[in-house]
């Protein structure tokens, strides 16, 4: 299986309200969420899906109601306009790395395997994890590990990276993991290594920039009453989604009108995020950190 979809029932049930509507799956992956959406649509319904991973494109669904776009979801507005489907009834995004990407040694996403230091979600990207680790300045490494990995004292770890690469350039994920473990707090090695890998992956794929660009387009493409359902896996992603749904912008700046009423284009469908059940986590350990936030455009 390419990817075991997380919070499948909860996300699709909340998303699809109009069987004849037009919906968008921004993270096609193995097609699990898309297939479930199509099951709820009638003959007049439409589904547009996005994915930048060439492996995911091979999972495309043979259905006349379905269109798969091999592009980053940061181009949401452009492609929905191209296909003349604006406004849409609902948008779904399952952020993060797929099970397939993690399990593929050559992709370099997993901290459990010694693979190529790559981490590109799309092989066409110019810069890989190897380039980042071996060429970034101390300042850029420090900023990356602070911003995207939320490491304590990232400058010290950046020093360690530079000292090691001056002896021998980094080639594999095992080498990156080994040095990260040396700098990790005692008994917190796994968490520290995960934060290091997360920071590099986000940098390589420009994940936060792409996410911000996509999020600010949601209001423009959703119809009134349309639903946005977004699953995130770490605090950086979740913060942006939470801010958007509460305030209408990713910065989280709540604006009010002359009478003190909040000016946000969204209403929260659920006050708190939906999280996986214990049963789902037991079946799919990668669901453990997932949070599903759902909002309706007003």
What does the pLDDT profile of the chain (298 residues) look like in tens digits?
556 899 999 999 999 999 999 999 999 999 999 999 999 999 999 999 999 998 889 999 999 999 999 999 999 999 999 999 999 999 999 997 766 666 666 687 888 889 999 999 988 898 999 999 999 999 999 999 999 999 999 999 999 999 999 999 999 999 999 999 999 999 999 999 999 999 999 999 999 999 999 999 999 999 999 999 999 999 999 999 999 999 999 999 999 988 988 889 999 999 999 999 999 999 998 899 999 999 999 9
- What is the distance between the alpha carbons of residues 224 and 79, in angstroms, rounded to a whole number? 20
For tokens 């707090």, name the residue: 185
Q: State the helix-helix crossing angle for 189-205 and 173-183, rounded to 10 degrees.
A: 130
Burial track 221-238 (b if 16+ CB lie within 10 A, e otherwise): bbeeebbbbbbbbbebbb
| pLDDT of res. 103 | 63
| pLDDT of res. 106 | 67
Domain ranges of the chain: 8-99+207-297, 105-205
> Residue length, the chain?
298
Assigned token pair, 266: 């969204």
* Structural class in CATH, domain 8-99+207-297: alpha beta
Alpha helices in 206-260 (DSSP H): 207-221, 235-247
Q: Is 245 helix (H, G, I), strand (E, B) or coil?
A: helix
Burial track 269-282 (b if 16+ CB lie within 10 A, e otherwise): beeebbebeeebbe
Contact present, 45 and 23 (Cβ < 8 Å): yes
Burial track 94-129 (b if 16+ CB lie within 10 A, e otherwise): bbbbbbbbbebbebbbbbebbbbbbbbbeeeeeebb
* Structural class in CATH, domain 105-205: mainly alpha
pTM for this one? 0.92
- What is the distance between the alpha carbons of residues 189 and 204, in angstroms, rounded to a whole number? 23
Plot region of 31 (φ>0 → left; ψ -120 to 50 → alpha; else → beta): left
| pLDDT of res. 104 | 65
Give residues with Cβ within 8 angstroms of 185, minimum separation 6.
152, 192
Q: Which residues lie across from 94 on neighbouring strands?
A: 231
- What is the distance between the alpha carbons of residues 254 and 258, in angstroms, rounded to a whole number? 13
Q: Is 126 helix (H, G, I), strand (E, B) or coil?
A: coil
């Amino acid at each position: 299986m390419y990817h075991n979809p997380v919070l499948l029932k909860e996300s699709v049930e909340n998303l699809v309200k109009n069987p004849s509507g037009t919906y968008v799956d921004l993270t096609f992956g193995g097609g699990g969420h898309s297939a479930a959406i199509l099951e709820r649509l009638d003959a007049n319904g439409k589904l547009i899906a996005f994915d930048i991973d060439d492996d995911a494109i091979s999972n495309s669904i043979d259905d006349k109601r379905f269109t798969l776009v091999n592009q980053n979801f940061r181009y949401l507005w452009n492609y929905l306009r191209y296909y003349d489907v604006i406004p849409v009834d609902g948008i779904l995004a399952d952020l993060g790395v797929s099970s397939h990407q993690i399990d593929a040694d050559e992709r370099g996403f997993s901290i459990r395997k010694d693979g190529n230091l790559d981490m590109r979600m799309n092989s066409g990207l110019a810069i890989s994890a190897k380039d980042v680790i071996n060429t970034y300045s101390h300042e850029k490494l420090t900023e990356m590990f602070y911003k995207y990995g939320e490491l304590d004292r990232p400058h010290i770890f950046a020093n360690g990276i530079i000292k090691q690469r001056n002896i021998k350039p980094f080639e594999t994920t095992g080498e990156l993991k080994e040095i990260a473990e040396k700098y990790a707090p005692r008994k917190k090695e796994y968490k520290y290594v995960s934060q290091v890998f997360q920071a590099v992956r986000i940098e390589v794929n420009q994940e936060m920039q792409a996410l911000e660009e996509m999020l600010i387009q949601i209001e423009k493409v959703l119809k009134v009453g349309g639903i946005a359902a977004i699953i995130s896996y770490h605090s950086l992603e979740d913060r942006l989604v939470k801010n958007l749904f509460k305030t209408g912008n990713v910065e989280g700046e709540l604006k009010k009108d002359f009478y003190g009423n909040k000016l946000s284009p969204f209403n929260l469908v659920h006050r708190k995020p939906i999280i996986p059940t214990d049963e789902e986590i037991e079946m799919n350990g990668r669901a453990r950190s997932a949070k599903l936030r759902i909002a309706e455009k007003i």
